[in-house]
Structure 1
Amino acid sequence: MKNLNLKRLMLALSATAIISCADKSDDNQQGKALINNDNLEGWSQKGGEAKYSIADGVITGETVSNTPNSFVVTDELYDDFILELEYKVDPSMNSGIQIRSNSKPEYKNGRVHGYQVEIDPSERSWSGGIYEEAKRGWLFTLENNQKAQQAFKQNEWNHVRVEAMGDTIKTWLNGTPTAFLIDDETPQGFIALQVHGIQPEDEPGKKIRWKNIRIQTENLKDHSKSMDLQPVNTKNNLTKNERENGWKLLWDGKTTSGWKGARLDSFPEKGWVIEDGLLTVLSTGGEESAAGGDIVTENLYGDFELKVDFKITKGANSGVKYYVDTDINKGPGSSIGLEYQILDDNNHPDAKLGSHEGSRTIASLYDLIQADPNKPVRPVGEWNTAHIISKGNHVEHLLNGEKVLEYERGNEQFRKMVSESKYAQWAKFGELEKGRILLQDHGDRVSFKNIKIKEL
């Protein structure tokens, strides 16, 4: 009897051990596999013409001469997820793993762009850092994180973990924390595997391999890992590339420093609020400058490059003005200057008005020049980026990274347009050498953030 009981006990323990091992294995294989063993169904190639193949569950990318960066991308788009995979890379290559990336006809003719988890086998060893392909460049580097730099294994399989939840992206390389980014530029996109383009003198045929690619999209908080890295928050902050290229914040995201009312010596006491890193003009039913009024920079700017993120509400009207002289038009209404129009084209009547057809639509030079009708505008409730470049008399308006109009201040054509517009009463309108930057109070709720300028 004792032998029988002992035998039963041993069988029970063995079964428990088997179940325990199975559970542990399942824990390491969470989520859905993104590749099959023998084909790339669910993926497609974009960008360059690097060679991609798959065998025994391993994707191989191979460099090719005379072609730009290449990507094999998931057909499905993802927002919040936990992604895990392994890669092995040739020591002479540069590569990356794209997350929340996109390819849209209106952005650089479909160029792949978005967050990239770096694969960097060079001496710099920034593998696991976060780069933004074809946009802002480096967002989170490893220059001050020696432990993360040492996590990469040369000529071996490396394990990557990425957690993307809301505005937070965290990465690990071989279990070592490598990046902690807070950024809300792109909430959704595809996963992609990059083969970087090579120089003409480089030998083609270098390879990178990926395997065990799995993604979780449910119950993410239950599987999220804590991280002791100090986060980099890009909201109302400058990126590494921006700092190195001379950009400065025009609004600090917290205070009214550097700004005042267009007709005041201080910032308005009503009509504008600063909350959660947003500068918001409140609604007063569409009355122009009826509450707090316009706000302007305390400093004057001549040649400059300006970027402003803005989010409109349904039917909203506002604008970003430049070369503003607040001594002009002391009466009712807004201060006078060249205006990058902000408007809900679908729901505000101004979209069909203007001295020149279409010149009051979003991103247009207000009342003077219509922006490209095929402009890449994002819908109400989403963030758009206004970008103005003014050097000498040449001015360009960009919307979400795409140029939508350009013109020359002060030439014969410009002065003719002004003479036919609401600005005809002001001599040499728009021809100041320097002026203030203005955010308009047009009585509709509009939010602003990431306001930055580079003097040229």
Structure 2
Amino acid sequence: MRISKIKRLSRQVPLVYLMAGVALTACTTAPHDGWEPLFDGETLTGWQAVGGEAPYAVEDGAIVGTMTAETPNSFLITEKEYGDFILELDVKLEGETTNSGIQTRSHLDKEANNGRGRVYGRQVEIDPASRAWTGGIYDEARRGWLYPLDLNESAKSAYKKEEFNHIRIEAIGNETKTWVNDVPIAYVVDTLDATGFIGLQVHGINDEALAGKKVYFKNIRIQTENLKPQDFPAGIYTVNLTPNSLSAYEKQGGYELLFDGSSPAGWVGAYKDSFPEKGWEIKDGTITVLPSDGAESTNGGDIVTVDQYGAFDLSFEFKLTEGANSGVKYFVTLSENNRGSAIGLEYQVLDDERHPDAKMGRDGNRTLASLYDLITAQKNRRAIRKIGEWNKGRVVVQPDNTVTHYLNGEKVLEYKRGSDVYKQLVSESKYKNWDNFGQAEEGHILLQDHGDRVSFRNIKIKRL
């Protein structure tokens, strides 16, 4: 085209159209920021409804799910599956006793719910209730809670009720991290589900007064290439479900393994110089006390760490057999030279349903996760895994002697060593005749031989 013809064309075309063409050219040649929208703001293209009968619709640029009585959990899931990704979206939930969630790398049992399907897999919780677990990680229709926000209590205030909340989820490799309104919330290292779909939940309701409440999802976008993880500050507790391992983040945070999965390194028999020759078995990544007659320390005996600890954060997994009894003790000094199990504060490990010890003591203070014979664990039955499944225990001793017990991530009791309340409890217990019971500056960690088969793994500790 000759220059003169270009000039004539420019005089004939309005300036606004020429500027639009320049803008379009600029947009098509600008570098892509790596984000891909999962929702076009107008239709549900790329999504499908499964599970319950709660309806989904598009209203004012948001996906809106409506709570419906007499139907199970309902989900809107992506037709595409994803592996590693960073997902961001905004969520608003009506009501303070309602619930919702965002599924990640999840799956569908197509035959369940009379052919409507049942979704299972990791879910990022949306929870406006008083417990405030938004951003925590739940394993829908499978393992239950993986990361309740009792593990990160300072983050409970991040969620804003009746407002849109910005959610960020990073699923990279075997790690899942979450943020709510830019506040870091949960960190889970898991061994399941390298790929799966993303889903938006409308939770089933038992209260008909909640029928009609809505949950809104908008600005849904994802990155799947050239992922750049956001900094996660130090000091946030990690749930690492990879047996007998430490993530790089845990190592940087000062955690160390107390059991390497294959040897008794770091452990000896209580009141002994070496590991017991019988009564304990190390196999398949577990350390197991073998059954004898159900009595204390009559077979291999208790085992203790070689090292001693003062303020610390101790985590461990345990698996009970039917009717089994054991315990994890701390501040064990081995100075008493007593018969039977060595003396120390005890996180009770017990089959509450079948072992008679659960009905002894006072007000249940010998039940699972209790401070044995002193303080009863206030636990929800939901927090207890079945016999034969792995449970996760945790004991945190702060430098000010505040002690907290957790069971599967849920806080079940708290007390302060050496306080007047503590001393009164000791004076009413089986430990009343031991001077300064449980008040040593430091002590060993102990796994108890109570004559029943109980297995342990993932034993790790951080000095505080």
Mapping for residues 151-190 of structure 1, pairs under 5 Å: 169-171=193-195
**Cα contact 1:246–1:454 (8 A) shared by 2:** yes
Is residue 173 of structure 2 the alignment partner of residue 129 of structure 1?
yes
CA 1:209 to 1:131, structure 2 compared with 1: closer, same or farther past 3 Å? Answer: closer
Q: Aligned partners of 1:385 and 1:297: how far apart in 2?
A: 19
Aligned-partner residue type, residue 132 of structure 1 = T
1:205 Cα offset (Å) = 5.7
Q: Aligned partners of 1:418 and 1:377: how far apart in 2?
A: 27
Is residue 234 of structure 2 the alignment partner of residue 208 of structure 1?
no
CA 1:386 to 1:286, structure 2 compared with 1: closer, same or farther past 3 Å? Answer: same
**Cα contact 1:305–1:455 (8 A) shared by 2:** yes
Q: Aligned partners of 1:361 and 1:414: how far apart in 2?
A: 18
1:242 Cα offset (Å) = 1.4
Once the two structures are superposed, what CA deviation does each residue of 1:262-309 show, in whole Å capped at 9, x if it has no partner? Answer: 021000000000000000000002011011100000001000000010
Which residue pairs with 1:368 in the alignment? 374
Once the two structures are superposed, what CA deviation does each residue of 1:334-378 show, in whole Å capped at 9, x if it has no partner? Answer: 000000000000000000101x32100000000000000425111
Q: Aligned partners of 2:130 and 2:289: how far apart in 1?
A: 30
Which residue pairs with 2:397 in the alignment? 390
Which residue pairs with 1:408 in the alignment? 416
Q: Could you list the runs of 5+ residues in structure 1 that have no partner in the other structure?
A: 1-34, 81-96, 117-125, 141-166, 173-190, 196-203, 211-231
Mapping for residues 82-93 of structure 1, pairs under 5 Å: none
Q: Aligned partners of 2:130 and 2:261: how far apart in 1?
A: 30
1:113 Cα offset (Å) = 1.2
Which residue pairs with 1:64 in the alignment? 90
Percent of counterpart pairs with the same letter? 44
Q: Aligned partners of 1:364 and 1:399: how far apart in 2?
A: 10
Which residue pairs with 1:417 in the alignment? 425
Which residue pairs with 2:456 in the alignment? 448
Instruction: Describe the SS at the equivalent of 2:49.
Output: coil
Q: Aligned partners of 1:359 and 1:288: how far apart in 2?
A: 19
Q: Aligned partners of 1:127 and 1:73: how far apart in 2?
A: 11
**Cα contact 2:255–2:461 (8 A) shared by 1:** yes
Q: Aligned partners of 1:423 and 1:271: how far apart in 2?
A: 27
Instruction: Describe the SS at the equivalent of 1:450.
Output: strand
RMSD after superposition = 4.3
CA 1:381 to 1:65, structure 2 compared with 1: closer, same or farther past 3 Å? Answer: closer
Once the two structures are superposed, what CA deviation does each residue of 1:71-96 show, in whole Å capped at 9, x if it has no partner? Answer: 4459x97699xxxxxxxxxxxxxxxx
Which residue pairs with 2:359 in the alignment? 352
1:133 Cα offset (Å) = 4.7
Q: Aligned partners of 1:346 and 1:406: how far apart in 2?
A: 24
Q: Aligned partners of 1:169 and 1:62: how far apart in 2?
A: 20
CA 1:322 to 1:112, structure 2 compared with 1: closer, same or farther past 3 Å? Answer: closer
Aligned-partner residue type, residue 449 of structure 1 = R
CA 1:62 to 1:422, structure 2 compared with 1: closer, same or farther past 3 Å? Answer: closer
CA 1:358 to 1:39, structure 2 compared with 1: closer, same or farther past 3 Å? Answer: same
Q: Aligned partners of 2:102 and 2:188: how far apart in 1?
A: 22
**Cα contact 2:313–2:395 (8 A) shared by 1:** yes
TM-score by length of 2: 0.59
Which residue pairs with 2:279 in the alignment? 271
Instruction: Describe the SS at the equivalent of 1:413.
Output: helix
Given candidates 319, 323, 328, the residue that maps to 2:331 is 323
CA 1:451 to 1:79, structure 2 compared with 1: closer, same or farther past 3 Å? Answer: farther
1:168 Cα offset (Å) = 5.4
Mapping for residues 235-314 of structure 1, pairs under 5 Å: 235-314=243-322
CA 1:372 to 1:393, structure 2 compared with 1: closer, same or farther past 3 Å? Answer: same
**Cα contact 1:138–1:240 (8 A) shared by 2:** no
Once the two structures are superposed, what CA deviation does each residue of 1:293-340 show, in whole Å capped at 9, x if it has no partner? Answer: 000000010000000100000000000000001121x23210000000
Once the two structures are superposed, what CA deviation does each residue of 1:19-52 show, in whole Å capped at 9, x if it has no partner? Answer: xxxxxxxxxxxxxxxx99785242679xxx9943
CA 1:62 to 1:42, structure 2 compared with 1: closer, same or farther past 3 Å? Answer: farther
Aligned-partner residue type, residue 367 of structure 2 = T
**Cα contact 2:174–2:194 (8 A) shared by 1:** no
Q: Could you list the runs of 5+ residues in structure 2 that have no partner in the other structure?
A: 1-43, 66-75, 81-86, 111-118, 141-169, 179-184, 202-216, 224-239
Is residue 72 of structure 2 the alignment partner of residue 40 of structure 1?
no
Aligned-partner residue type, residue 40 of structure 1 = A
Given candidates 321, 327, 335, the residue that maps to 2:342 is 335
1:129 Cα offset (Å) = 2.6
Q: Aligned partners of 1:79 and 1:264: how far apart in 2?
A: 53
Mapping for residues 425-444 of structure 1, pairs under 5 Å: 425-444=433-452
Aligned-partner residue type, residue 435 of structure 1 = G
Aligned-partner residue type, residue 351 of structure 2 = D
Q: Aligned partners of 1:342 and 1:62: how far apart in 2?
A: 40
Q: Aligned partners of 1:243 and 1:319: how far apart in 2?
A: 27
Once the two structures are superposed, what CA deviation does each residue of 1:118-157 show, in whole Å capped at 9, x if it has no partner? Answer: xxxxxxxx875332356862648xxxxxxxxxxxxxxxxx
Which residue pairs with 2:9 in the alignment? none
**Cα contact 2:316–2:392 (8 A) shared by 1:** yes
CA 1:194 to 1:455, structure 2 compared with 1: closer, same or farther past 3 Å? Answer: farther
CA 1:79 to 1:237, structure 2 compared with 1: closer, same or farther past 3 Å? Answer: farther
